[in-house]
Chain A
Amino acid sequence: MDTRQIEASEITLAVKKMFMDCNYFIGDDILSAIKSSYEEESLPVAKDVLKQLIDNHEIASSEEIPICQDTGMAVLFVEYGDKVTVANGSFTDAVNEGVRRAYIDGYLRKSVVSDPVFDRINTKDNTPAVIHTQIVPGDKIKITAGGKGFGSENMSAVKMLTPSAGVEGVKKFILDTVAHAGPNPCPPMVIGVGIGGTFEKAAELAKRATMRRIDTSNPDKRYAELEKELLEEVNKMNIGPAGLGGKTTALGLNIETYPTHIAGMPVAVNICCHASRHKECVI
C-alpha cells in the first residue's frame, strides 16, 4: 500500500497556528451574526453589550490578543487518512506539542489541571488536548480544532431520552437546558445539539455541532427546520446578550445526528458562548 509520510513537526505547526488563530480571530459567520443582532436589537442594554462584543473582536484581531481570557481546553476532531504515516514522532505527541506552543508562545491562558478531583494542579501548557480521531480513506489529515471555554461547557447536558419522547421530547430537553443555562454561559450562545448514537456519541456530536459554521444547516431538511424553529424559540426567551434581556439569546443552533439503538434516543446539548472559536486545516 502506498503511504504518504507527514513530518510530526508539520502537524505541530498546523495545530499551533489553529489554536492561536482561533483565539484571536473570530469566524466571519459569528461576527456577522453579532453585527446583524446589533442592528435588530432595540433594547439599549442589549445593543450596548453587542457593541462591546464587536469592539472586543476588533481589538483582539488587530492586536492579536485573545478574544476571551478563557482560551479554552483544546479539542480536536481528526479525520486521519489511512494512507498517512507520521515521520519523526507520533501523531498525538505532535498535536500536544502544537497545543503547548500555541498556549505558551501565543499568550493564551493555561486552564488545564492534571487531576480533576484531588490534585487539580495546572499542567502549565494547556495539555493534554481532547482528541477525537476517525480513520478515513485517503492520504490526508483533516483537523477541526477549537478552544472550548468552560463557562458555557458547564451549562451543557446529556439526557437519555427514549423513543416515545419523540421530537417534542427532544425540543423540550434542548429548550430546558438553554433556559437553565440562562445568563451564565455568556449569551448570545452558540448551541450544539447531538442526537442519536450512544451516551458518549451524542455528546461528541454536540461538540462537533458547535464547531460547524452557524451559517450552514443540517443537510436533512427536517433537522434544518428543527434548527431554525429551536433557534427562534430560544430567542424568545428574553435571556439576551449577557443575560440582560433582548432578542439575541443565541446566534446559532446546529444539530448533528447519528443512527441509534431501537430502545434509545440520546440527546446532548453542548452550549458555547458567543466566542465560538474553531479553525480547520487539511495536511
Chain B
Amino acid sequence: MKKITFPITEEQLNDLKAGDRVLASGYLYTARDAAHKRMYELLQNGKALPIDVKGQTIYYVGAAPAKPGYAVGPCGPTSSYRMDKYAPSLLDCGLKVMIGKGIRNDDVIESMKNNNAVYLIAIGGAAALIAKSITKSELVCYEDLGTEAIYRYEVEDMPLIVGIDSKGGNVYKR
C-alpha cells in the first residue's frame, strides 16, 4: 500500500502504476456534472476558473447530507465517463489527479499522458466507509448546485486504487 499526499508531488505521481492500492491524505476539491459544465463554459469563454486547479485533485462526488456530528455525509465516487467531455480542458490547466469510478475515453487518457496526470478510483457504493476518511468539508463555490457544489475536503488515508496511470496503464484493460 502506497501513501500519497494531495496535492500530489511529481515524484509520487510518476511512481503510481495502474492497479496500485494507495492511501491518500491532504486536501482535494469535489466537482461533478453541473460544476464541470460551468467550469468548462468559463474556459470556453476565456474566463478564470473559481478554483486554481494547477497541481490539484478533483473528486467526482456529490455527497449525501451530513448527519449532526459528522464531518461529511456518505460520499462515494460517481461515474467518471460523464466528465470525459470536460476533463481534458481541466488537465490542460494543470489538474493532476481525478478520482471517480469506471472507464474513461481515449481523449481523456491521451490528455492525461500529455499532461502527466493520473486517474484514481474509489469503490462505488462504499460511501459510508469512504466518508470515514474525510475529516473536514467546506463549501468553496456554486452553492446553488446543492450536492453538486464545489467543496474542499480534507482527507486522511482515503483508500483508492490507481485506475489509469500517467503512462496510460489502465486497470480496466485486461
Give the B-binding residues of A (Cβ under 8 A).
45, 48-49, 52-53, 55-56, 59-60, 63, 65-71, 107-111, 120, 122, 124, 151, 154, 182-184, 186, 238, 242-245, 273-275
B96 lies within 8 A of chain A by Cβ: no
Min distance, Cβ A22 to any Cβ of chain B, angstroms: 14
Q: B172 contacts which of A69, A107, A108, A182 (Cβ < 8 Å)? A: A182
Most chain A beta-carbon neighbours within 10 Å: one of B34, B129, B148:
B129
Contact A273 B66 (CB under 8 A): no
Docked complex Cα distance between A69 and B123 (Å): 12
Min distance, Cβ A114 to any Cβ of chain B, angstroms: 12
B88 lies within 8 A of chain A by Cβ: no
User: Considering the complex, which residues of chain B in the window 60-111 have a beta carbon less than 8 Å from any beta carbon of chain A?
Assistant: 61-67, 70, 73-76, 78-79, 81, 101-103
Contact A183 B75 (CB under 8 A): no
Contact B102 A69 (CB under 8 A): no
B46 lies within 8 A of chain A by Cβ: no
Q: A274 contacts which of B79, B125, B147, B174 (Cβ < 8 Å)? A: B125
B171 lies within 8 A of chain A by Cβ: yes
Kindly report which residue of chain A lies nearest to residue B159, judged by CB atoms.
Answer: A52
A244 proximity list for chain B (CB < 8 A): 161, 171-172
B132 lies within 8 A of chain A by Cβ: yes
Docked complex Cα distance between A63 and B68 (Å): 12
Interface string of B120-160 (1 = CB under 8 A from A): 01011111110110000000000001111000000000010
Contact B174 A69 (CB under 8 A): no
Contact B146 A69 (CB under 8 A): no
User: 25 A-B residue contacts at CB 8 Å?
Assistant: A45-B19, A52-B159, A55-B129, A56-B128, A60-B128, A65-B70, A65-B73, A65-B74, A65-B131, A67-B125, A67-B128, A68-B127, A69-B76, A69-B127, A70-B76, A122-B146, A124-B146, A151-B78, A183-B101, A183-B103, A184-B102, A242-B161, A243-B102, A243-B103, A274-B125
B-side interface residues, number (CB < 8 Å): 40
Q: A107 contacts which of B34, B73, B101 (Cβ < 8 Å)? A: B73
Contact B102 A68 (CB under 8 A): no
Contact A69 B63 (CB under 8 A): yes
Contact B101 A186 (CB under 8 A): yes
Q: B124 contacts which of A111, A124, A242, A245 (Cβ < 8 Å)? A: A242
Docked complex Cα distance between A120 and B148 (Å): 12
A69 proximity list for chain B (CB < 8 A): 61-64, 73-76, 127, 147
B101 proximity list for chain A (CB < 8 A): 151, 183-184, 186, 242-243
Contact A66/B123 with A122-B146, A184-B81 known, Cβ cut-off 8 Å: no
Contact A63/B125 with A68-B76, A244-B171 known, Cβ cut-off 8 Å: no
Min distance, Cβ A18 to any Cβ of chain B, angstroms: 17
Contact B65 A120 (CB under 8 A): no
B65 proximity list for chain A (CB < 8 A): 107-109
Give 4 A-B pairs besides A68-B124, A186-B124 with Cβ atoms closer than 8 angstroms: A56-B127, A65-B67, A65-B70, A107-B64
A49 proximity list for chain B (CB < 8 A): 123
B129 proximity list for chain A (CB < 8 A): 52, 55-56, 59
Interface string of B1-20 (1 = CB under 8 A from A): 00000000000000000010
